[in-house]
Structure 1
């Protein structure tokens, strides 16, 4: 190699090394003609007092890069260096390239309803109540994780909820997004089958209550509901961005379906789950295996007649399989809580922030 060629190669390596050592944020947002995105942050070259202009590129992507020697940085995008993005500060690790999809309006999602969606698997129909997060209309460049929730009529509206008590899922989600505790998500509330609820939410078969339709309900979600949502809404479809939640029998079926389909669901929340079903057969299945399923799990129970003994046994079975509290397992005991909608509404913030904590979405 000649001296000139060697110097050129060294220069190329230096440039590549410099590029690899850069920290970059890419803000995806259409500010409209004549407006701009600026970024304020915790370390030079950024500051909290004056924003640094990001550079617009095709696709309404605003980019800013600085040396990774600055270290980890907290920052926020602004429109015209006046209007701050909603939610918490973003933590950007040194050397990372991070895509941000902010919004700048109120943290207030909206509901849409899909009526009488047909279930060929179950031979009936039901409604979907769909929560669209605050930025859904404001930032059309953004796609979202999806949380599939059972007993959909109990989640958002007291007029349809059991006993007139709703979970206040939309209000709780709005508050968590607004204070920066939770990422934005689409929530799909799947109404239960009324008199068929026990059958649809249970594996086979309890000596007293029968049941056994959970496999058909599973196919309804996988083959009908999820494809409909993915085709009609801006979703992120990977397992990391897809979760289940339910309570009581809805917790049981969340646990059952989630662990049977780890390629689809990366996480689940099972609140006050009916693990007593069929002499705790589901727990016995977990105890009989040493294989940890790659699904993050939240389970809980209250101390007031809420199946805490059975839930504790399931927690111990999961720990024996290798689940670790605070990582891929969050087991919670709700002091004084009973088996009712009000108790689930009161602690809903805990599973929501475990499933979708701030800045956890994988784009």
Structure 2
């Protein structure tokens, strides 16, 4: 073997190694969006070589993936994609850590989701039917490359439409989600509002069994969500079905059953919000279970109560039980006291932004 060949081989190896090293040290943004023929995606950002005044064109790749890389020595950067360096994406800037490869699924239209209704949705667990109201986030039609986290919400009849609400007051959940997504406080999410089964609400939403009210259908309700609702949603909508992107929310008895089902199924639900929950049920049996537990369940909890006849004492006891199990306020626990708030839809609507941004903060979705 000649010295010349050896030198050439060594040089090629060095070039290859340098290329691999350079690639490993790059920070990369991949923008998933179909801009249509003749259009392009550019990126503006907070540090050179990027700029907030003039965009840098990304490179198109098969699958409508637009890619741009720069040296990780630039450090952490905030960026935003534009169409033709003229139309900014909706929402907040994207935070990119040095050396990371980050996937972005933007949209460029108004922050206005759409509601879809599934009538006469049959529950084999209860042998009855009810309505599902599904909130599809703003980009759902605009960016078909994107998949979404899912929030399963109890008392669906009260969430989106005052005309259907039990007491004529809605949570304004769609308006709140639109606002939070639009201002960049919250990731886009599909919300599945599940009506309860008419007169069977107490039974459906409670573990067994309160001396005064009976109940005891929560295990069937658990199967209704896991075996009937969730498979239907995952099969018919573009969901991200892993636990990190799947949550529950409810209030009053809906909060109780959200806590109950979520805590029992930590491989399905990564987080839950229990607002003004009926932790008093059956002499606070659920709280006693948490107090007796020696295992920390891998679920993030949001719990709250108002100061006006809203079960604050029982909710505080549940908070203390969770803390004793190792949950940390501001990390995997968010305990909130709503000053002056009562046990009603208007109070829950007024603070809905807090659990929504805790469950799905901006740029938290795991793709």
Q: Structure 2 length as normaliser, TM-score?
A: 0.97
Contact persistence 1:290–1:320 (CA under 8 A): no
Q: Partner of 1:55 in structure 2?
A: 59
Instruction: Please point out which of 228, 239, 247 is paired with 1:224.
Output: 228
What is the distance in 2 between the residues matched to 1:8 and 1:76? Answer: 37
What is the distance in 2 between the residues matched to 1:130 and 1:260? Answer: 25
Q: Partner of 2:250 in structure 1?
A: 246
Instruction: Please point out which of 177, 185, 195 is paired with 2:181.
Output: 177
What is the distance in 1 between the residues matched to 2:264 and 2:74? Answer: 45
Give CA deviations for 1:65-105 in whole Å, capped at 9, x if unaligned: 00000000001000011100000000000000011000000
Q: Which runs of 5+ in 2 are unaligned?
A: none
What is the distance in 1 between the residues matched to 2:67 and 2:124? Answer: 47
Q: Structure 1 length as normaliser, TM-score?
A: 0.98
Tell me whether 1:318 sits opposite 2:326 in the alignment: no
Give me the CA root mean square deviation: 1.2
Give CA deviations for 1:147-166 in whole Å, capped at 9, x if unaligned: 00000000000001121000
Instruction: Please point out which of 14, 37, 42 is paired with 1:38.
Output: 42
Q: Secondary structure at the match of 1:162?
A: coil
Q: Partner of 1:202 in structure 2?
A: 206
What is the distance in 2 between the residues matched to 1:290 and 1:323? Answer: 12
Q: Partner of 2:262 in structure 1?
A: 258
Instruction: Please point out which of 100, 122, 125 is paired with 1:121.
Output: 125
Contact persistence 1:148–1:245 (CA under 8 A): yes
Q: Secondary structure at the match of 2:176?
A: helix
Give CA deviations for 1:96-120 in whole Å, capped at 9, x if unaligned: 0011000000000010000011111
Give CA deviations for 1:113-133 in whole Å, capped at 9, x if unaligned: 000111111111111000000
Q: Partner of 1:166 in structure 2?
A: 170
What is the distance in 2 between the residues matched to 1:18 and 1:257? Answer: 48
Q: Partner of 1:302 in structure 2?
A: 306
Contact persistence 1:265–1:295 (CA under 8 A): yes
Q: Secondary structure at the match of 2:120?
A: strand
Q: Partner of 1:132 in structure 2?
A: 136
What is the distance in 2 between the residues matched to 1:10 and 1:305? Answer: 72
Give CA deviations for 1:198-219 in whole Å, capped at 9, x if unaligned: 0000000001000000000110
Q: Secondary structure at the match of 1:291?
A: coil
Tell me whether 1:112 sits opposite 2:124 in the alignment: no
Instruction: Please point out which of 10, 16, 23 is paired with 1:19.
Output: 23
Aligned-residue offset at 1:14: 2.7
Q: Secondary structure at the match of 2:167?
A: helix
Q: Partner of 1:333 in structure 2?
A: 337
What is the distance in 1 between the residues matched to 2:124 and 2:291? Answer: 34
Q: Partner of 1:267 in structure 2?
A: 271
Q: Secondary structure at the match of 1:26?
A: strand
Contact persistence 1:24–1:96 (CA under 8 A): yes
Counting matched residue pairs gives: 363
Q: Secondary structure at the match of 2:304?
A: strand
Aligned-residue offset at 1:289: 1.1
What is the distance in 2 between the residues matched to 1:305 and 1:13? Answer: 68
What is the distance in 2 between the residues matched to 1:37 and 1:261? Answer: 41
Aligned-residue offset at 1:10: 4.1
What is the distance in 1 between the residues matched to 2:310 and 2:155? Answer: 18
